[in-house]
Structure 1
Amino acid sequence: MTCRRGASCACYVGFFYFLYLFNIGNTQLLINVKNQGGDVLQESISSNVSEDTVTLEFQRSDGTLITQLVDFRNDVQILKALVLGEEERGQSQYQVMCFVCHFRKGDFISSDAMSKLRQKNPGTIRTPEEDRGRENHTMEFLVDVPRSGVISRHIASLCGEAGDATYTRDQDIKLWASQPGASLSALLSAVTRVPPTATPRCLETADLWTPCVCHLETCIGWYPCGLKYCKGKGDAKGKGGGGEYRCGIKTCKKCSLFAYYVRQKQLCLWDE
């Protein structure tokens, strides 16, 4: 269905429509997404315009709870993974890890645009238009959560349970330091470099109490990665004046593989 530019009614495009008449500060969408294994997962995507953040959350079929928060003000993306313990192998509790990375503008629609989205058919199973592949992240630093406000104030609230299992990268620190008003020394005061990279991968050691490098892959199966623009057709008399206007969203899928230090293999039993 197409919409006339400047129409006063709500405009449906695909399965979303934009509300042009007013702005809502906090919204939430529930999206059904089929993963590579054929399971249908439900994603919750919420926007907070006053905080300029977007949060996406879902539970994987193995029980792992994934939370992604984008802090647009500070160009920060926080990905939190809550992994259930394997009781048969001595893990009675869950683990929480946080991965804090620099956010590239344009990888996700803005919090303001997100707040204007509405879902037309909530029960439909969605598939992304574009697969952006997998990005590898080697995490060289541990983040001191109580001091993490210099990176983003949202780290403390989201990663409190993760504690010293909160990670970032050298290249991210440098990107944040290049922003106006940022201080490299202040950023470095909030992180600690992990032990030498000579530590073996957890997959390669049999000792459950040996320090090693763990691998964890997460995939965001569906998210609004950009806006679509349409060209106006001009007025009824055939005159010009039809410029571009927002008429929909583009959806993507993206995976991330995190390599990070753990004190013992017991904290990385899935990497086998």
Structure 2
Amino acid sequence: AGREESDTDIVSLDSCASAFDPLFKNLPAAMASTSAASDFYNVDINDTRLCVLRRYQNLRIIGSGAQGVVCAAHDTLRDEQVAIKKLSRPFQNVTHAKRAFREFKLMNLVNHKNIIGLLNAFTPQKTLDEFSDLYIVMELMDANLCQVIQMDLDHERMSYLLYQMLCGIRHLHAAGIIHRDLKPSNIVVKSDCSLKILDFGLARSAGDSFMMTPYVVTRYYRAPEVILGMGYKENVDIWSLGCIFGEMIRGGVLYPGSDHIDQWTKIVEQLGTPSPLFM
């Protein structure tokens, strides 16, 4: 048996800032770490202050959560609309630092049409000692799958969306990566039905030799192996996709458990008790 996954894996809090440095250097575009202070400006939106490169104008918040805020903006350099994600206090503890590091690293490495692309990344701080804010620039999509599920989708569109989800996850798994947090809000869609998977803060290498934490995947999309605290691999992503597809057909959550025990109960009520071989 491998060791249990812990908060000291991947990157420690003391070294997290320096761990980002080579990733910034590997990006194709000039990063903010080499930009002058005059290249930035502050903008206050609602109760959020952002300090962004001047090339990004007309910011408006399109989403927010525990991990930070996401703004739509116009990139005047490329003349296109983009999404800018400001990670909320990414280095306040080791858990947040790990999520920020994973998301930035994987977005920088993975290249597939059904996985959100990293266009740029920057920080307004000038030294590693000051490094506290991280901004990630991504492609701007039109809606997330939560919104799309509420629409009256025909069989053709539904099949095409599922096909793209499977293509994206197949690419991740082929690269040895488990997403571990697939849910409708982490899947975004354009008006032409093109689809991309995002949010790699909980992603992990499939080859890591330890018992992975059960505190992954939003409850409704959590596989039995995760609920029971068993070891798991790429199959947890496939379960999550099955739950998402069932939700698209049904128009509502497939297994809406109120806690992890109720979640397990609802799964067993529909699918039956697992065989001894599973346990």
Common fold: TM-score over 0.5: no
Q: Normalized per residue, which structure has more helix? A: 2
Indicate the structure with greater strand content.
1
What's the TM-score, normalizing by structure 2?
0.25
| Bigger relative contact order, structure 1 or 2 (CA pairs below 8 A, ≥6 apart) | 1
- TM-score normalised according to structure 1 size: 0.26
